[in-house]
Amino acid sequence: MGIAILASDLPVFRELLTDRENALLVDPEDEVIFAAALTSLVHDADLRERLASRVRASFGEQSWISIAKKSVQAYEPALHSCFQPSFPLSPFCV
């Protein structure tokens, strides 16, 4: 058993995931597409299991932990720059 991944189609996630191979990647600004992808996962057990099994094959049984750690590592530099006494602020901080 595993978990299928639905994620924003952003470079940080494309480094780890491939759309329709081991995840569904969607435009983060398109809620209609997000809802459609989520609906697909809810109603299509074969799709869920195929994506979940490919994530396990790529990252092992602890895939969600591995992906979460890599995601945090990718975002940490931007987060830390928000707390530095510099001007102007990073666009990630607003």
- What does the pLDDT read at residue 6? 95
- What does the pLDDT read at residue 2? 74
For the chain, 94 residues long, the average pLDDT of each consecutive 10-residue run is 88 91 94 95 95 84 70 77 58 53
Domain spans of the chain, in order of start: 6-93
Q: Which two tokens stand for residue 34?
A: 């997000």
* DSSP track, the chain: -----EEE--HHHHTT--BTTTBEEE-TT-HHHHHHHHHHHHH-HHHHHHHHHHHHHHH-TTHHHHHHHHHHHHHHHHHHHTTSS-SSPPGGG-
- What does the pLDDT read at residue 61? 60
- What does the pLDDT read at residue 7? 95
Q: What is the Cα–Cα distance from 84 to 18, expressed in whole angstroms?
A: 34
Task: Kindly report the pTM of this predicted structure.
Answer: 0.64
